[in-house]
Structure 1
């Protein structure tokens, strides 16, 4: 699997043009919101957003800038989960979940020091991930993935509790984004 495969999967899952009245993101196409498209130089009609532009946005904002390729060097499944979470919740949220999960799995700092949950992928976060993988091996990926998905699921439920209009999306979020 490659980042291009992940992008293809996201675009297929997100579908085409949508303008749901309960979605604060407004018009979207292939999962790219109007504001994100504008911030990335696309000023055309969202109904005709070119796939190439959407794919470029996904790669730049949700893979390259957060540094998930560095995570992929250790674990492709973990990097893929972080990418998917970033697409749906933002890269900072995905990295924050990663840092929180690594902190919770370090056995009270016996395995590596706690991380500051600053929502930025840096040398310490990558070092903690390497230490986790050295200790737990590839089998640890499944536990780390469960922790990441648990945090993601809790966030979806919180969003629905805080804003009842989000209940329109909760079932789909849980069905399509967790597991």
Structure 2
């Protein structure tokens, strides 16, 4: 999966401009939050600008992974942050015997471990870890209403 294909799919889940008081990211446009990018004009964010930020800041954690898991890790990085996306990948790898540390850093050990597991199995196990993460978030009352959308988003990468 190339960046252009992945970002197109991610943007199917990321809406336009929203300012939901229950969203910890605050004001958001195309999935780019004011909290993460205080210097950006969120209200005036264009799709092209969002794509440039995604390619610069989020795609690097996924681009060297096996194709079957690349998109879902990228999507999770956009949705929950790079560190969380990589930590969940490392937890998925650990659940299948890998000795990688769950430190949230994409390094050569994590990449090697990801290449040693059947890519579709890794994608499916990663999806389970994503859903479990979302279920934990939904334990907070203000986040419950997002759970179904998050789960649908995670499952959209499994084919």
Displacement after TM superposition at 1:122 (Å):
1.0
How many residues align? The count is 156
Larger radius of gyration: 1
Of the three residues 102, 118, 123, the one matched with 2:93 is 102
Q: CA 1:172–1:130 in structure 2 vs 1: closer, same or farther (change >3 Å)?
A: closer
Matches within 5 A, 1:117-136: 117-132=102-117
Instruction: Tell whether the 8 Å contact from 2:84 to 2:104 is kept in structure 1 after alignment.
Output: yes
How does the TM-score come out when normalised to structure 1?
Answer: 0.80
**2:51 pairs with 48, 55, 64, which one?**
55
- 1:31-42 alignment, distance < 5 Å: 31-38=31-38, 41-42=39-40
Structure 2 spans left out of the alignment, 5+ residues: none
Structure with the larger helix share: 1
Distance 2:153 2:69 in 1: 17
Shift of 1:13: 2.1
Could you tell me how far apart the structure 2 residues matched to 1:52 and 1:36 are? 18
- 1:120 and 1:79 map into 2 onto residues whose CA distance is 15
1:93 and 2:84 correspond: yes
Aligned residue in 2 for 1:141: 119
Residue 177 of structure 1 and its aligned partner are, at CA, apart by 2.4
Deviation at 1:9, TM superposition (A): 2.1
1:1-179 aligned at under 5 Å gives the runs: 1-38=1-38, 41-42=39-40, 44=41, 46-64=42-60, 66=61, 68-71=62-65, 75-106=66-97, 114-132=99-117, 140-161=118-139, 163-178=140-155, 179=158
Q: Retained in 1: the 8 A contact 2:67–2:119?
A: no
Instruction: Report the CA distance between 1:78 and its aligned residue.
Output: 0.7
Unaligned runs of 5+ in 1: 107-112, 133-139
Q: Structure 1, residues 117-136: CA drift from partner, whole Å, max 9, x if none? A: 1111111112222333xxxx
For residue 110 of structure 1, what is the aligned residue in structure 2? Answer: none
Distance 2:13 2:91 in 1: 27
> 1:7-59 CA distances to partner (integer Å, 9 max, x unpaired)?
12222321211111211211111111112232xx42x3x22212221111111
